[in-house]
Amino acid sequence: MNIYIQDEVLEFDNDPKTTKQIFDAINEYLNKRELKFSHLIIDGISVYENLFTYFSDNINKIEKVEVVLQTIPELVNETIITTDNYINNAIPLITELAEEFYQQPNDKTWLKLNDLFEGIQWVIESLSQIDSIKNLNSIINNYEIWNEYVQEVSKLSTIISELEVAIVGKDLISIGDMVLYEITPAFESMSDKLGFLLPKMGDSSVS
């Protein structure tokens, strides 16, 4: 089989024993060039998950593998856009969620709160991934604003810890207050910061 990765073509035997070698070769290529993996196109089929299993199950018949990559700036760009969309969509829903806790929360209300927790966790993890990138100040389009955004996100960790205490104590009013008066303003401030970090239309990177 042939593995196409940017301008290079790697050749491997269609042998189950080569599966690990293939993935090691791809990862080595990524690490040397500071590229991020997106997905594989295997004989015309886009595969995003369970890649090793897919390879193992089809190793005898695979002919062509295209490695689809992201550059670091593209990764940063995509993450900022996705985070901005999530936050802007979440703000009105958070306000509604707070009102439900002021009234009588039902099972759906608690599910919405759990979704909010998961969303915040994703925001925190995404930020950590970007903030760990070397020479980020040369990639991000406004590093000062980025640091302000980092500070806003860090506040969420404290808020979540306090919110968990209120949840354990079943203090519905406190839950509503923290959602409305702490999480909502934090999201609004984060949205403002992200507005300065979004790439201009037509840009291929955030720099």
Confidence of residue 207 (pLDDT cuts 50, 70, 90): very low
**Which has more pLDDT, 141 or 192?**
192
Q: What local confidence, expressed as pLDDT, does residue 204 receive?
A: 38
Instruction: For residues 193 and 73, give the distance between their C-alpha atoms in angstroms, rounded to a whole number.
Output: 18
What phi and psi values does residue 100 have, to the nearest 5 degrees? -65, -35
Stretch 140-166: mean pLDDT, rounded? 93
Question: Is 70 exceeded by the pLDDT of residue 202?
Answer: no
Q: What local confidence, expressed as pLDDT, does residue 4 receive?
A: 96
Question: Is 60 exceeded by the pLDDT of residue 22?
Answer: yes
Tell me the per-residue pLDDT of 63-90, one tens digit each, with 9 for 90 and over: 999 999 887 888 898 899 999 999 999 9
- Whole-structure pTM value: 0.69
Q: What local confidence, expressed as pLDDT, does residue 40 receive?
A: 93
Q: Going by DSSP bridges, is the β-strand pair 64-71/2-5 parallel, antiparallel, or unpaired? A: parallel
Q: What local confidence, expressed as pLDDT, does residue 200 receive?
A: 67
Instruction: For residues 130 and 80, give the distance between their C-alpha atoms in angstroms, rounded to a whole number.
Output: 9
Percent of the chain with pLDDT over 70: 96
Question: Contact at 8 Å (CB) between 63 and 43?
Answer: yes
Confidence of residue 45 (pLDDT cuts 50, 70, 90): very high
Q: What local confidence, expressed as pLDDT, does residue 206 receive?
A: 36
Question: Contact at 8 Å (CB) between 40 and 67?
Answer: yes
Using alpha carbons, select from 165, 183, 170, 182 the residue that is nearest to residue 104.
Answer: 170
Tell me the per-residue pLDDT of 170-199, one tens digit each, with 9 for 90 and over: 999 999 999 999 999 999 999 999 999 987
